Structure 1
Amino acid sequence: MPRILSIDYGLKRTGIAVTDEMQIIASGLTTIASDTLVVFLKEYFSKENVEKVIIGEPKQMDGTPSESAAIIEKFIKIFQKEFPEMKLDRVDERFTSKMAFQTMIDSGLKKNQRKNKALIDEIAATIMLQDYLQYKR
């Protein structure tokens, strides 16, 4: 069974998570510079069987698009041009960064380690993907 990949896209950094081959568990993969994302995905897709990509949809509390929505929409156009055959789903990403930070606290990471924004992005992508898997079931 192919994997599902999750992207927590940001202006500077992008957190990436992926499922196992049975699509049961989401795991953090990496965080990379956003300007290298397309190159990273081309390489990853050439090595791994991925059937779908999940991209976060940032929203305000009232459900309207947040300020970063335009940045993500621009990336989605590039993604669809580069990977026209890849299925794409959007998921609400409200609170994922806060949940990621709380996960770091709950895991016992020291204050210095919790300042690692790249780790927060990777955990946020993992939370989005795990929520997607639960919703899919």
Structure 2
Amino acid sequence: MARILSIDYGKKRVGMAVTDPGQIIATRLTTIPTHTIWDFLKEYFLKEKVETVVVGYPRQMNNEASEAVRYINPFLRKFQQVYPEIRLELYDERFTSKMAFQTMIDGGLKKKQRQNKEMIDGISATIILQDYLEQQRNLQ
């Protein structure tokens, strides 16, 4: 089986998580500067077989897309042009940053460590991917 990659796309940073080849466990992969995403993806897809990319898509409480989609949508369009063979899924990412922060607290990280935005973005991508995996299992 191929992996599933999760992307928490932000204006400054991109958090990423990935499944094992059996698509059972979501693991934090990395957090990179947004301007390096295309080089990273090109390299990663050469090394690893990825069948699906799940992108966190922010929505507001009324279920409308949030303002952040104005920089996520161009990424999504380009991704589909560059990688048409890879399935692209959008996943509601509401509350993932808060959940990531709570995960850090629950994990015993000190206040200074919890201020690490790169870690929050990576954990958010992991939460998005784990939720996506659970949703897919429930559909089966």
TM range (shorter): over 0.9
Q: CA deviation at 1:104?
A: 0.3
For the pair 1:53 / 2:40, whether they are aligned, the reply is: no
SS at structure 2 position matched to 1:54? strand
Per the TM alignment, residue 73 of structure 1 is displaced from its structure 2 partner at its CA by: 0.5
Report the counterpart of residue 100 of structure 1 in structure 2.
100
The CA deviation at 1:118 is: 0.3
| TM-score computed with the length of structure 2 as normaliser | 0.96
After the TM superposition, list the runs of 4 or more consecutive aligned residues in structure 1 that deviate by more than 3 angstroms. Answer: none
The alpha carbon displacement at 1:39 in A equals 0.8
Equivalent residue for 1:114?
A: 114
Once residues 21 and 85 of structure 1 are traced to their aligned partners in structure 2, the CA distance between those partners, rounded to angstroms, is 18
Instruction: Give the aligned residue type for 1:56.
Output: G
Where in structure 1 are there 5+ consecutive unaligned residues? none
Structure 2: distance between partners of 1:81 and 1:35: 18
C-alpha deviation, 1:80, in angstroms:
1.2
Aligned amino acid, residue 11 of structure 1: K
How far did residue 70 of structure 1 move? 1.3
Instruction: Supply the distance in 1 between the matched residues of 2:19 and 2:12 (Cα, whole angstroms).
Output: 24
**What displacement does 1:46 show?**
0.3
- Aligned with 1:98: secondary structure? helix
Distance in 2 (alpha carbons) for counterparts of 1:24 and 1:47: 20
State the TM-score, normalizing by the size of structure 1: 0.99
Please tell me the residue identity of whatever aligns with 1:71.
Y
Inter-partner Cα distance in structure 1 for 2:81 and 2:31? 23
Q: Give the CA RMSD over aligned residues.
A: 0.5
Counterpart CA distance in 1 for 2:2 and 2:84 is: 17
Please tell me the residue identity of whatever aligns with 2:11: L
Question: Match of 2:128?
Answer: 128
Q: What aligned pairs does 1:10-21 form with structure 2 within 5 A after superposition?
A: 10-21=10-21
1:29 and 2:29 matched: yes
**What secondary structure is seen at the aligned counterpart in 2 of 1:11?**
coil
When the two structures are aligned, how many residues end up with a matched partner? Answer: 137
How far off is 1:71 after superposition? Answer: 0.9
